[in-house]
């Protein structure tokens, strides 16, 4: 009998442990958000928003991807209107439709649960609010709900529907990623300076060869795109931020470096003496005759200009710029001119 009772007790304890472990953290956060939801009494019989809360310690502070609970007076009537219009109810910010549909609808408590989601469909809507996250880390906005394609419903007089969006979420994982990026930058720069990674080849008779323009350009775009991708992911959570044009730009720079390195092997014995390094910038802009070469200056200037546009767009607008076909053709022409001047002349 005792063994039977002991078995029952153990089974009950195991059931409690399993049920406790199976409780969803999201459900706990939403419960906490609903308990912090302070609503204003409904004024009339028309649907209107009368409260908003989030899952953080301050229910008015949000990050992208957070749950947001919106209280709606006469929610049943609003859902009926949406059903008649054959359109879903969506979240509005500053009167603009985000397109985000509710992930939870509670008709009893008259609340709608949304996710502050930034996706390809509403990316342009979020851009002005997430502008300059490093120097302006927080923005305030008013939220409401409405039927897609229509206008947001009104606010109950006296209710506060203003929320504060913090653009950059910082926790221990963020510091780890920033430390890794800093370490990567230090290693890459140190390798570029003290090794022959960006040079035309290994030392000849103990003399270091000059820096390669093609390899520098390839390393420049690789470095900028990698750091920008991680930065945008940390700020927005978006993992699809690389536009197709950047693949073409990286392809042009990689092809330039590859062809420039292959030319000496394809045309040996041209009688040219091995060049020695004259300093980083001089190696980039000086030709084989130690004269500033226009084809090299053209590539250096356009690479610096496009890099500046790229960094500005990433830091302030939180988006990698989409370079059009004209700019890609310009870079291709510049690279082709540079390769053409590297080809040795025919010997009579």
Say if residues 212 and 259 touch (Cβ distance below 8 Å).
no
Q: Is it true that domain 23-166 has CATH number 2.60.40.10?
A: yes
Reported as half-sphere exposure (CB side, CA atoms, 13 A), residue 340 has a value of: 8
Of 261, 247, 274, nearest in space to 197 by CA: 261
How is the chain split into domains, by residue range? Answer: 23-166, 172-267+277-342
Handedness of CA 27, 33, 38, 44 (dihedral sign): negative
- Taking the model in full, what pTM does it have? 0.70
What DSSP line would sit under 162-176, residue for residue? EEEEES---SHHHHH
Tell me how far apart the alpha carbons of residues 317 and 243 are, in angstroms, rounded to a whole number.
Answer: 15
The phi and psi torsions of 264 (rounded to 5 degrees) equal -60, -35
The phi and psi torsions of 89 (rounded to 5 degrees) equal -80, 135
pLDDT value at position 225? Answer: 92
Tell me how far apart the alpha carbons of residues 145 and 156 are, in angstroms, rounded to a whole number.
Answer: 13
pLDDT value at position 11? Answer: 43
Per-residue pLDDT of the chain (348 residues; tens, 9 = 90+): 434 444 443 444 433 333 444 445 566 777 777 888 889 999 888 999 999 999 888 999 999 889 999 999 999 999 999 999 999 999 999 999 999 999 999 999 999 999 998 887 888 888 888 888 888 889 999 999 999 989 999 999 999 999 999 988 777 888 898 899 899 999 988 998 888 888 888 888 888 888 888 888 888 999 999 999 998 888 877 788 888 888 888 888 888 778 777 776 665 555 455 678 888 888 888 887 778 888 888 888 988 999 999 999 998 888 888 888 888 888 888 888 777 777 666 654
Within 164-243, residue ranges assigned H as helices are: 172-194, 213-236
Which residue's entry shows tokens 């390809």?
Answer: 120
Angle (CA) 127 222 242, round 5°:
35
């Amino acid at each position: 009998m005792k063994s039977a009772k002991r078995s029952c007790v153990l089974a009950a304890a195991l059931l409690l442990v399993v049920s406790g472990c199976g409780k969803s953290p999201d459900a706990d956060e939403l419960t906490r958000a609903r308990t912090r939801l302070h609503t204003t009494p409904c004024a009339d019989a028309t649907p209107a928003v009368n409260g908003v809360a989030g899952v953080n310690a301050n229910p008015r502070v949000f990050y992208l991807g957070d749950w947001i609970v919106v209280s709606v007076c006469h929610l049943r009537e609003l859902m009926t209107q949406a059903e008649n219009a054959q359109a879903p109810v969506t979240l509005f910010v500053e009167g603009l439709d985000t397109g985000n549909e509710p992930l939870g609808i509670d008709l009893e408590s008259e609340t709608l649960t949304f996710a502050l989601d930034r996706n390809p469909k509403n990316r342009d809507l979020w851009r002005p609010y997430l502008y300059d996250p490093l120097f302006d880390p927080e923005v305030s906005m008013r939220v409401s709900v409405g039927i897609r394609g229509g206008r947001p419903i009104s606010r109950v007089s006296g209710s506060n529907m203003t929320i504060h969006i913090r653009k950059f979420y910082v926790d221990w994982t963020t510091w780890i990623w920033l430390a890794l990026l800093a370490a990567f930058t230090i290693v890459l720069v140190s390798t570029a300076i003290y090794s022959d990674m960006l040079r035309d080849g290994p030392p000849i008779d103990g003399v270091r060869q000059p820096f390669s323009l093609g390899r520098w350009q390839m390393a420049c775009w690789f470095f900028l795109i990698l750091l920008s991708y991680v930065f945008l992911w940390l700020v927005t959570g978006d993992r699809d931020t690389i536009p197709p044009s950047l693949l073409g730009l990286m392809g042009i720079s990689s092809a330039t470096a590859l062809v420039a390195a292959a030319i000496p092997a394809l045309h040996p014995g041209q009688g040219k003496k091995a060049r020695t390094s004259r300093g980083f910038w001089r190696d980039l802009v000086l030709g084989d005759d130690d004269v500033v070469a226009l084809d090299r200056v053209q590539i250096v200037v356009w690479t610096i200009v496009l890099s500046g546009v790229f960094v500005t767009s990433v830091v302030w607008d939180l988006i990698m710029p989409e370079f059009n076909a004209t700019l890609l053709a310009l870079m291709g022409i510049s690279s082709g001119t540079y390769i053409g001047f590297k080809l040795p002349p025919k010997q009579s």
